[in-house]
Structure 1
Amino acid sequence: MDTATARHRLEVMRADLDRSIAVLRSEHPERENSAADAGSVLTDSDRVQAALASLERHRAAVEAALSRISAGTYGQCLGCGKPVPEGRLEARPDAARCVTCQAKHDRARR
């Protein structure tokens, strides 16, 4: 994928993520007085926080990909230095690693 196309797709992704994050941040579950309702509010709040964390991680990956475009290293695997396959970048424009290195990275983080 050429970098102009990648930049455009990443900028659209970032805008979509920003909108989703703004919506979740503006939601404030109502607090109820009963213990059962309080547990429900906590669960809803936990779900919102988990969704926000996921969206923010994805946004950080998009920002990192945009930085790699600016640095001229977009499409180069951060693990092995080889080119990230075109199909992977088509599917995940924010991909920083080839599939093999991503799997190793994910296992190391556990």
Structure 2
Amino acid sequence: MSAPDPDDVRRHLHAEREAAQARLASLTGDFDAVVAASLDSNADDEHDPEGHTIAFERSQIGAIVAQVRRHLAELDAALGRVDAGTYGSCEACGLPIAPARLEALPAARRCILCAAR
């Protein structure tokens, strides 16, 4: 199994990072809109049988924002591993991570066997 080309990996990780940043910007806008709606509304949404509460929506968007931020941090760490020459090697056992796993999870730190433990 040959090592992935570092330039191809960098391009792929940067593309993933740009997509994640765009999603974060969109979610941040959604979050701001929900907060603004709650400030402009006198409605008692806590007792509205027709839909989710504003607090629920705010919490849900906040959780997704945190998830995207963690993904960005993982992508940054993967770029650091590319620069260090360790990208594609399992941090636990040192064996190569399968290309299919890296394709599905470009920021993967562990091979499938170590990840399953």
- Report the TM-score range of the alignment, normalised by the length of the smaller protein: 0.7 to 0.9
The CA distance in 2 between the partners of 1:79 and 1:35, in whole Å, is: 52
* Deviation by residue 1:29-87 (Cα, 9 ceiling, x = unmatched): 11132332587110110111011011111111111100000011001101111111122
Q: TM-score, normalised by structure 2?
A: 0.81
Matched, 1:81 2:84: no
Q: State the SS of the aligned residue for 1:97.
A: coil
4+ residue segments displaced more than 4 Å: none
Aligned pair count reads: 104
Give unmatched runs, 5+ long, in structure 1: 105-110
- Point out the more displaced range, 29-38 or 15-24: 29-38
Give the alignment's Cα RMSD to 1 decimal.
1.6
Matched, 1:24 2:27: yes
Matched, 1:66 2:75: no
Q: State the SS of the aligned residue for 2:106.
A: coil
The CA distance in 1 between the partners of 2:5 and 2:99, in whole Å, is: 10
Q: TM-score, normalised by structure 1?
A: 0.85
Bigger-Rg structure (1/2): 2
Q: Specify the code of the residue in structure 2 equivalent to 1:87.
A: A
Q: Specify the code of the residue in structure 2 equivalent to 1:48.
A: I
CA positional deviation for 1:103:
2.2
The CA distance in 2 between the partners of 1:36 and 1:74, in whole Å, is: 49
CA positional deviation for 1:95:
1.0
Matches for 1:1-110 after TM superposition, within 5 Å? 1-27=4-30, 28=32, 29=34, 30-31=37-38, 32-36=41-45, 40-104=53-117
